Chains A and B, each alone.
Chain A
Amino acid sequence: MDESGNQRGYFAQHINDIREYNRIAGIAEIARRYMAMNAFDGILTIIGVLMGNYLAGVRDAGIVVHTGLATSIAMGVSGFWGAYLTEAAERRRDLVELERILLTDLGQTKIGRASRVAVIIVTLVDGLAPVLAALIVLAPLFAARLIGNVLVSYALSLAVALLGLFGLGAFLGRISGRNLLGYGLRTVVAGLVAIALGFLLEGVGL
């Protein structure tokens, strides 16, 4: 009982620390931005993969899933690497500037720790957001055998993608305190444009 109480106390302390780091380093705001931006990229990229496979006449769900997974992994790696390098460099520069003004080493202070935690959280969000978004969109193709018809799986995947885009738009609308429907429709239009351009490519014989 005592041990579980201690564990709860330890856990609560960590949560409080992360809340404080968030206040100091503004982690939630930048993570939210990365999440929306990269999930949007992830969904649109998978729409591209779906359209490419569909128009190339691929009717084997396994091939689409493999292509989609490989693309998702590449997006995830790109997200991790890119966010880590840029965020670590930016945060380091910020900390060094503050250290120069204060004439003190901030590495072992709450500010230094908040900066390091921010890099880790933002890197994870940036890497995982496109992968998770892509996996959700690919779900109907994972379940192609259950669905029974690969064309229905394609259509369902595109529908999930458009729904995901609408959700992201609505999320951005909520953050900005503006019209959820308007923002949702704007992001859906991006998906529809990607789909339409895919069909257009086929139309011009590419």
Chain B
Amino acid sequence: MGNLRRLVLDVLKPLDPSIVELVLFLADLEGVDGVNISINEIDRRVENVKITIEGHDLNYQNIVQTIQEHGGSVHSIDEVAAGKMLIEDVATSQD
């Protein structure tokens, strides 16, 4: 069913564990080919990050569970891609 290939999540997480630790835990998950975490905003105790995950047959539940296990809270799913090939967002005249 499906074949989830890309997930872009907006996450609020504590400063500890660091994004270095979190990215390694996410990269170890089954089906994950690569992960990128970039910082949007840093506060005194928390940071708002964008997590981009690409792979084959990504398990959304496992990914969210790993983020929550490390204290993160998924605020929104900003982009998803699934299917036989990866389709990029297409610019339209309205854009």
Which residues of A come within 8 Å of B, CB atoms? 20, 23-24, 97-98, 101-104, 106, 109-111
Give the contacting residue for B14; candidates A20, A102, A103; CB below 8 A.
A102
Contacts of B12 in A (CB 8 A): 101-102
Whether A104 lies near B73 (C-beta < 8 A) is yes
Whether B46 lies near A24 (C-beta < 8 A) is no
Whether A98 lies near B17 (C-beta < 8 A) is no
Whether A110 lies near B17 (C-beta < 8 A) is yes
A102 to B, closest residue via Cβ? B73
Contacts of B13 in A (CB 8 A): 102
Whether B45 lies near A106 (C-beta < 8 A) is no
Judged by a CB distance under 8 angstroms, whether B83 is at the interface is no
Judged by a CB distance under 8 angstroms, whether B89 is at the interface is no
- Chain B residues 40 to 91 lying within 8 A of chain A, measured CB to CB, are 43, 45-46, 68-73
Give the contacting residue for B69; candidates A98, A101, A102, A109; CB below 8 A.
A109
Which residues of B come within 8 Å of A, CB atoms? 12-14, 16-17, 21, 43, 45-46, 68-73
B71 to A, closest residue via Cβ? A111
Whether A111 lies near B68 (C-beta < 8 A) is no
- Contact A24 to B17, CB < 8 A, known contacts A101-B46, A104-B68: yes
B67 to A, closest residue via Cβ? A109
Contacts of A103 in B (CB 8 A): 73
Contacts of A109 in B (CB 8 A): 68-71
Contacts of B45 in A (CB 8 A): 97-98, 101
Contacts of B21 in A (CB 8 A): 23
Min C-beta distance of B46 to chain A, whole Å: 5
Contacts of B73 in A (CB 8 A): 102-104
| Alpha-carbon distance A24/B71, docked complex (angstroms) | 11
Contacts of A101 in B (CB 8 A): 12, 43, 45-46
Min C-beta distance of B18 to chain A, whole Å: 9
Min C-beta distance of B78 to chain A, whole Å: 19
B72 to A, closest residue via Cβ? A102
| Alpha-carbon distance A111/B18, docked complex (angstroms) | 12
Whether A24 lies near B16 (C-beta < 8 A) is yes
